[in-house]
Each structure stands twice: as C-alpha cells, then as structure tokens.
Amino acid sequence: MTNSDSSLPKTAVPAGLTDPVASARAELKAALAAIEVKANVPRRIEKASARAAVKARRFADDNPIGAVAAAVALAAVVGGAVWVIARAISR
C-alpha cells in the first residue's frame, strides 16, 4: 500500500483502488495528512516567513531606494507603537 507515484501529493487518494479496505485506508491516510498540513502552524509560519523574505530580497534588489524607504517607514511605525504603549503604561 505504498505510494509509488512521487508526483501524487500525500493528501491525495491514488486512483484505481478496487479493494474497499485499501480505499478506506488510503482515504483515511490522505485525510490525516491534510489535517496535519493544515494544523501544523509552526511549519506554515516558517514557509510564509521564507516566502516573505524572498519577496523582500527581490524587492530590495529591484528597488533599493524603495526598500530603504520601506525599512524607515517600518521602523517609524514600530517606534511609534512602542512609544504609544510605553506612554499608556506609564499613565
């Protein structure tokens, strides 16, 4: 019952299963794999951050002045948020 077709995702049920038990097992295996993919938040965050880093590097390579402006704007927003929070706590 191994998946010999490497192009088939692990969340898919292979076609051509005629045995109902093997089909049910394959469906259960695919459902559990889909749940694991969907519920694995750390892996999803890691992949999303990697995609964002690639986009940021590409943007910085294509538009260095825009990247500097975006970094300054982000620093200003973070600094402003820290200032507002610190001011609210001190009162």
Give pLDDT, residue 8. 66
Identify the pLDDT of residue 37: 85
pLDDT tens by residue, 29-74:
888 888 988 898 999 999 999 999 999 999 999 999 999 999 999 9
pLDDT given at position 1:
46
Q: pLDDT tens digits for 79-90?
A: 999 999 999 999
Residue 62 CA: distances (Å) to CA of 53, 71, 72, 78: 14, 15, 18, 25
